[in-house]
Structure 1
Amino acid sequence: MLDSDRARQTLDRSESGAPASGHAVRDLFSTDEIFQRVVATADEEFVRSTRLLFFSGLAAGLSIGLSFVARAALSAEIGDASSLAGAALYPVGFLLIVLGRYQLFTENTLTPVTLVLTRIAAVPALLRLWGIVLLANVLGAALVAAVLARTGVFDADSAAMAREIAMHGLEVPTGALFWKGVFAGWLVASMVWLNHAARDTVTRFFIVFAIMFLVPAADLFHCIIGACETLYLVFQGLAGIGDAARFFGAVVVGNTVGGVLLVAILNYGQTRRTRFPDRDCDDLALTWREFLFGVGRGAPRRSEAGNAPLSRDEDQEGAETGSMLDQPVSA
């Protein structure tokens, strides 16, 4: 291979092996290339320890509470809880989460699902990841709700507006909550997909802001920020825990369905069979028993002698700790 070709290949690939620029057009990724970038992120999430996942999820739950604070404060200034202008600050928490690389449950309806769809990660591993992140998100949101309800963070006008915003969610029927959650989950997972298609922070900023503004603008619901809002009412004694649980259950299922079915599976269906040009997909894939009941993922290493990945037996030790895309593309 020519030195110029080798240099370009190095520039066009990140250390994980994911493309850093498009093949046909350098600043435009194809669907396959976006998918490979999503997979690289997913692999990073699966190798995180429980402690790292939990604290990243906790940070996301705390950050999402700032969307509630900002929306209530601005809406109080405007004097209208349903004002689109008041909803303009709704994306604040999501900007902190996306740019800060925290773990948010609704983002995880896309990234780790890609490895499960390709049968590289086991279903129990996905459920473990979801469970840790969701628990941490809700705990963070609950802590913010408790502080807002029991302290003087809100002035009288902002507190009244916060109660009005939160009460609106509890008044929506369960069926409507589910479908509103589906569309919100669709938007969040689409935002994650587009962020992997972007090449700079400024573009990601505007992607997050524009898409997440549509959630309150269209009167949709996000499960974690919704948990913060409803728990705020619970801590003030204005709603029961059963009401909050009904709201949260319907919205979290809707968000999950919207993210997995409308984004992850549809975008996966647009990719070609050879989704990993530097890996043997058949060797990466778990057996059906591992896929359904295991806790790991396929992670063959390169053999030192050449391009062929090691066999499953040869790589059994490395698969437990290594990263699926931890080797650079072979020249």
Structure 2
Amino acid sequence: MKEEEKDQKEHQKQLEEKSDNIKGGKKYSDILSRVIHEGEQMFAIKSKAIFLSGVIAGLEIGFSYFMICTFYALLDGHVEQNILFKSFGFVYPIGFILVILGKSALYTEQTSLLALPVLNGQRSLLEMLRLWGLVISGNVLGGIVFTFFIGILAPNFGLFTSDTMVTVGHHVLDYEAWVLFLSAITAGWLMGLLTWLLNSTETTLTRIVIIFMITGVIGFGGFHHSIVGNIEAFGAFWKSASVSGWDYLKFLLLALIGNGVGGAIVVGLFKYRIFESNYADES
């Protein structure tokens, strides 16, 4: 009898917690705790598994590139160029939805996620950089493989041509270094915020809406996402003599660093400091 009463009380407590979450959303500290816990789980995964997960993410994120190129080829000549590029925001989220809901390791999703256990004193900076390196290597390799795959398949399917790949690539490459870097910080900031928002909800539909909203802004604004941008830039490098290996590598380096700054510092550090300041005031 006592066991039944205990179970009933526990069940009632769970219902009340769910009700509180529905009414007022999760508390700031609850979201922070979930993000740190998720980050800790990433540190516990074996290096080989992290790298392979990164490769899968690089392949899957390629479907954003596929949709962008197909969308461009379909509407080129029918829609004003500037409007066409802005319209990428409608198809850009596809690869992100596949990667994030599929739980593959995407660098820009991991920036703030892995930074928070470091800020909380649970992991070292070296451990974080090692994991970042594994995820980035996997993402870049997977993206390059996808570029070759879709670059051969798509023209034979009549979806888009090499010229489309070059145009899309130049769309991300043709900026001064400082503009590209600030743009990458903005994209990293938004991706870090995405990680935070995803940990405030548990329903799949809401998560899809959040992913679509945040990555749609990145696509609409043309902000530089290093992993999708890796595919865009590499496609132009492969298909055009006007894009050198240095152009590709410079873009990738600036985008990776910018995304890291945006996710780890603008979101990870600031979010953690807000909690830390509030905790200090309470104590």
TM-score (structure 2 length as normaliser): 0.87
> Aligned ranges for residues 59-74 of structure 1 at < 5 Å?
59-74=56-71
> Aligned ranges for residues 1-331 of structure 1 at < 5 Å?
3=6, 4-8=8-12, 21=18, 28-79=25-76, 82=82, 83=84, 84-149=86-151, 151-154=152-155, 155=158, 157-238=160-241, 239-272=243-276
Distance 2:209 2:21 in 1: 25
Displacement after TM superposition at 1:216 (Å): 2.2
Describe the shift of the 1:121–1:180 C-alpha distance in structure 2 as closer, same or farther (beyond 3 A). same
Asked whether the equivalents of residues 88 and 220 of structure 2 are also in contact (C-alpha less than 8 Å), the reply is no
Asked whether the equivalents of residues 78 and 86 of structure 1 are also in contact (C-alpha less than 8 Å), the reply is no
Displacement after TM superposition at 1:125 (Å): 1.2
Q: Name stretches of at least 5 consecutive residues in structure 2 with no aligned partner.
A: none
Asked whether the equivalents of residues 138 and 227 of structure 1 are also in contact (C-alpha less than 8 Å), the reply is yes
Displacement after TM superposition at 1:40 (Å): 1.7
Asked whether the equivalents of residues 56 and 104 of structure 2 are also in contact (C-alpha less than 8 Å), the reply is yes
Displacement after TM superposition at 1:240 (Å): 1.6
Describe the shift of the 1:193–1:175 C-alpha distance in structure 2 as closer, same or farther (beyond 3 A). same
SS for the counterpart of 1:103 is coil
Asked whether the equivalents of residues 22 and 33 of structure 1 are also in contact (C-alpha less than 8 Å), the reply is no
Amino acid across the alignment from 1:153: A
Displacement after TM superposition at 1:162 (Å): 2.6
Distance 1:222 1:8 in 2: 44
Describe the shift of the 1:86–1:42 C-alpha distance in structure 2 as closer, same or farther (beyond 3 A). closer
Describe the shift of the 1:227–1:52 C-alpha distance in structure 2 as closer, same or farther (beyond 3 A). same
Distance 2:275 2:88 in 1: 39
Identity %: 25
* CA offset digits 1:193-212 (Å, max 9, x no partner): 10000120000000000110
Displacement after TM superposition at 1:123 (Å): 1.4
Distance 1:161 1:260 in 2: 34
Structure 1 residue ranges (4+ consecutive) displaced by more than 4 angstroms after TM superposition:
8-12, 20-27, 272-275
Amino acid across the alignment from 2:95: G
Distance 1:86 1:191 in 2: 19
Displacement after TM superposition at 1:260 (Å): 1.3
Describe the shift of the 1:171–1:26 C-alpha distance in structure 2 as closer, same or farther (beyond 3 A). same
Q: Name stretches of at least 5 consecutive residues in structure 1 with no aligned partner.
A: 13-19, 276-331
Distance 1:58 1:8 in 2: 44
* CA offset digits 1:121-149 (Å, max 9, x no partner): 11111111101000000000011112233
Asked whether the equivalents of residues 71 and 88 of structure 1 are also in contact (C-alpha less than 8 Å), the reply is no
Moved more, 161-170 or 65-74: 161-170
Amino acid across the alignment from 2:100: V
Aligned length, in residue pairs:
267
Asked whether the equivalents of residues 182 and 257 of structure 1 are also in contact (C-alpha less than 8 Å), the reply is yes
Distance 1:170 1:182 in 2: 16
Distance 2:137 2:235 in 1: 17
Distance 2:60 2:159 in 1: 23
Describe the shift of the 1:59–1:156 C-alpha distance in structure 2 as closer, same or farther (beyond 3 A). closer
SS for the counterpart of 1:101 is coil
Higher helix share: 2
TM-score (structure 1 length as normaliser): 0.75
Describe the shift of the 1:226–1:233 C-alpha distance in structure 2 as closer, same or farther (beyond 3 A). same
Distance 1:8 1:128 in 2: 44
Moved more, 191-200 or 81-90: 81-90
